[in-house]
Amino acid sequence: MSSVARLLPTPEAHDLLELTSELADKELAPNADDYEARGEFPRELIRTLGRSGLLGLPYSAEYGGAEQPYEVYLQVLEILAGRWVGIAEAVSVHTLACYPLAHHGSTEQRERWLPDLIGGELLGAYCLSEPAGGSDAANLTTRAVREGDDYVVTGTKAWITHAGVADFYNVFCRTGGPGPKGISCLLAPADTPGLNPQAREKTMGLRASPVAQVALDGAVVPAGRLIGAEGEGFRIAMGALDSGRLGIAACAVGLAQGALDYATGYAKERVQFGRPIIEMQGLGFMLADAATEIAAARALMLHAARLRDAGLAYSTEAAKAKLFATDMAMKVCTDMVQVLGGAGYVADHPVERYFREAKVLQIVEGTNQIQRMVIARSL
């Protein structure tokens, strides 16, 4: 396990984090650079994580989940992100994609599908954003029309992580009038007729993780796959994002910690003016600030998670954690490139990749402007 001091709620959580660290060192760290350079999605690796129980951590044991507190799940994500943030993001998005069924599905729906979703073999996608709007999701235009026992869905979803590799898609679509109350949630399997993932986007970072539009060309989804009642979709989507934002915060904390650990090692080795550069106060202070900011972000994230675990309101605290942790990761990754000087600017060292990967965390699951809106509204 890394040198980060952690207060964990149970011995079982301690063992889980040990196991995660071992798995991350063995399976993630040696593969990250190659897969990211090739832009290849590591489906088998995700399956390995699933078989180790990491794809259903916060969900009920009744359906095959590990029933871990959120604070433990987030620290697992953080460890994964420290070795390969793309994998942590995949776990976080999958966990987000299981949320609607796990929290809003009927007992019959959960019994039927949830064990498969969290059992480790299947991978999920969450389709809220559209080409005309990501931030203003309440005005989405994908339309689902009831025809007999089915919904026929028409529209386009944009920026969908796991498009083309997912086994199931949560599709947020309009079944009623304008605004948030007209939105519903359908859980569509990948082989739904008319559900067509498009060509992959060429992204700045997280290149192993496929992101694409998903066209719904009269996609036929059985009405029994409506999660919650008609009109409840937006509430479900926002509830999922409150939890998901904490996952993104964990990715940010882990990524920044990985960057700090790498840059610290380099600064101890690299000699200028006759001594290791870490001994130059200007550089040592940069590392000290990074270590402090990472610790602060981790504390904010764990505070929100503990509120959630206690069944208390945590939405605003999740927004604060996502905002602070992802802005922090962008700053720390920028500074860690600086610590390496010219070496930080080339792909031979992973901080170049970390820097590109940090950016997207300020954008996904509600941009940081949207997080500020959520926080400001709560004041």
Ligand X SMILES: Cc1cc2nc3c(=O)[nH]c(=O)nc-3n(C[C@H](O)[C@H](O)[C@H](O)COP(=O)(O)OP(=O)(O)OC[C@H]3O[C@@H](n4cnc5c(N)ncnc54)[C@H](O)[C@@H]3O)c2cc1C
Binding site for ligand X (CB under 6 A): 93, 126-129, 133-135, 159-161, 203, 206, 211, 360, 363-367, 369-370, 373
Based on CB atoms, which residue is closest to ligand X, 335 or 365? 365
Amino acid at 241: L
- Is 236:170 a contact under the CB 8 Å cutoff? no
Q: Is 41 helix (H, G, I), strand (E, B) or coil?
A: coil
Minimum CB separation from ligand X for residue 108, in Å? 27
Q: What angle do CA 326, 53, 196 make, to 5 degrees?
A: 70
3-state secondary structure of 151: strand
Contact 20, 29 (CB under 8 A): no
Closest to ligand X by CB, 42 or 53 = 42
State which residue, 74 or 206, has the beta carbon closest to ligand X: 206
Minimum distance, C-beta of residue 6 to ligand X, in the bound complex (Å) = 29
122 DSSP 8-state letter:
-
The residue from 27, 78, 317, 365 that is catalytic is 365
- Please name the residue that has the structure tokens 């992580």: 161
Which CB atom, from 113 or from 126, has the smaller least distance to ligand X?
126
Vertex 365, ends 104 and 286: CA angle to 5°?
A: 135
Strand-pairing partners, residue 156, are 215
Q: Could you tell me which residues are beta bridge partners of residue 125?
A: 169
Residue closer to ligand X (CB basis): 128 or 255? 128
CB of 332 to ligand X, least distance (A): 20
Provide the minimum distance between the beta carbon of 129 and ligand X in the complex, in angstroms, as a whole number: 3
Longest dimension (CA), the chain: 79
Smallest distance, ligand X to C-beta of residue 232, A: 17
- Contact by Cβ (8 Å): 82, 13: no
Compute the distance between CA of residue 192 and CA of residue 87 in angstroms, rounded to an integer: 26
Q: How far apart are CB 160 and ligand X at their closest, in Å? A: 5
* CA 354 – CA 223 distance, rounded (Å): 43
User: 369, 366, 376, 110: which is closest to 238 by C-alpha?
Assistant: 366
Residue 205 three-state SS = coil
Name the residue number minimizing CB distance to ligand X.
Answer: 134
Report the residue number, 251 or 278, with the smaller CB distance to ligand X.
251
365 is catalytic: yes
Q: Which residues are catalytic?
A: 365
